[in-house]
């Protein structure tokens, strides 16, 4: 008998992140987004008076003006993506035998 495989559950993955004080988080986030450095598969997390912003790689600009620092491998939760409602309706119609 084959062992059962657990369903795909959200898990915590270790990636680089930038720790920035809350008052500077919005401006830094805008700059990171404009350079496409934010890892959108991970959630941004508040940690006390700071915010951890997940990034795909270290930015080329200086973080000291934002009083930010790179955290090597913090554990951040995965952002669970929502299903496309149109696709879900198509699947339900097909399952009911209704041509789409």
* Residue 54, H or E segment: strand 50-54
Q: pLDDT (tens digit, 0 to 9) for every residue of the chain, 100 residues total?
A: 565 655 554 544 456 899 999 999 999 999 999 999 999 888 999 999 999 999 999 999 999 999 999 998 778 888 877 778 888 898 888 888 888 7
pTM of the model: 0.66
From CA 70, how far away is CA 80, in angstroms rounded? 24
- Torsion over CA: 23, 28, 39, 60 (sign): negative
Q: What structural domains does the chain harbor?
A: 12-95 (3.30.70.2580)
Look at residue 86 and give its three-state secondary structure. Answer: helix
């Amino acid at each position: 008998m084959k062992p059962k495989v657990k369903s795909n559950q959200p898990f915590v993955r270790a990636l680089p992140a930038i720790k920035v004080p809350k008052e500077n988080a919005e401006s830094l986030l805008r700059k990171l987004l404009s350079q496409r450095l934010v890892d959108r598969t991970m959630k941004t997390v508040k940690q006390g008076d700071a915010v951890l912003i997940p990034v795909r790689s270290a930015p080329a600009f200086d973080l000291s003006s934002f009083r930010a620092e790179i955290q090597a491998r913090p554990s951040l939760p995965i952002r669970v993506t929502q299903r496309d409602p149109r696709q879900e309706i198509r699947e339900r119609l097909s399952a009911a035998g209704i041509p789409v």
